[in-house]
Amino acid sequence: MVATGCSSFNRDWRESKVVANSFEGPWDGTWVSETSGHRDRLRCIVTRKSADQFEARYKARYRKIISFSYTTPLSATESNLTWHFKGEANLGKLAGGVYSYQGAASSSNYFSTYTSKYDQGIFQMQRPAEAR
């Protein structure tokens, strides 16, 4: 997990736009660890890289004071305006190693599970109010 780039994430998140009929753009919500019970704010910017490849840039808070950002490549397919995606990212040894993600998103709701060697949980987000 990388603590750098938070100011560029904030700027990019404010400037990102919702893309019609896609899950691209800004998201805002929470992450919850089912292992530890920790939860906090989570924001994300989804960007299309190719027909079925996307990039999810996450910025999460931990215990309301620590922020960290990281990027995860996602493979996604669309069916009836719902995008089903999966991906994985190595967040480094100190952050728990490789995390795997699987979820679905509509134009207004984003839900994903995550698993790693030491943790598992969920991401639940919606479009930010100013982007709706």
Domain 6-131 = CATH 2.40.128.120: yes
Bridge partners of residue 58, in order along the sequence: 44, 70
The CA distance from 107 to 32, in Å, is 22
List, as own/partner pairs, every contact residues 46-53 make where C-beta atoms lie below 8 angstroms and the sequence separation is at least 24, other chains included.
46/74, 46/105, 48/19, 48/22, 48/24, 49/73, 52/76, 52/77
Give the pLDDT score at 4.
43
For the chain, 132 residues long, give each residue's pLDDT as a single digit of tens: 344 445 688 889 889 999 888 899 999 999 999 999 999 999 999 999 999 999 999 998 877 777 888 899 999 999 999 999 999 999 888 888 899 999 999 989 999 999 999 999 999 999 998 655
> In the numeric block, which tokens belong to residue 119?
């943790």
Q: Where are the domains of the chain?
A: 6-131
Give the pLDDT score at 80.
93
- Closest to 87 (Cα-Cα) out of 126, 125, 46: 46
